Amino acid sequence: MRKITEETANAFNNSLPFKKANMKIEVLPNVTIMKLHGNAIAFKYNDPEQTLSITNCGWQTNPTKERLNGIDGVDIYEKKGQWFLNGKEWDGELIDVFQK
């Protein structure tokens, strides 16, 4: 895992503001947002369930996959061009992944 992915994931997982190169973590009162090249790819809501929502924003790229994989509870891999999220086919559309 690249250093920028580790730093970004740490900031996101701990709801800490962060900005470096093409990555940004915004911490708002109700949600923490991970942005890659200005695209919001992950949302961690500060509700009791700590709902986590992710998307690839239409960019099925290795950097997007790597940044999302840095988040606790997310495991994305690719097989024959198809992405899999936590063992199930995923088209990259916004989806809720619950974490506690």
What span, in angstroms and rounded, lies between the C-alpha atoms of 18 and 54? Answer: 18
Q: Which helix (H) or strand (E) element contains residue 9? A: helix 3-13
In the predicted model, is pLDDT for residue 62 greater than 80? yes
* 57 Rama class: left (phi>0) / alpha (psi -120 to 50) / beta: left
Domain locations in the chain as residue ranges: 3-98
Note if the pTM is more than 0.85: yes
Q: How many CB atoms lie within 10 A of CB 31?
A: 16
Condensed to tens digits (0 to 9), the pLDDT of residues 48-58 reads 667 899 999 99
% of the chain with per-residue pLDDT over 90: 84
Per-residue confidence band for 47, with pLDDT thresholds at 50, 70 and 90: confident
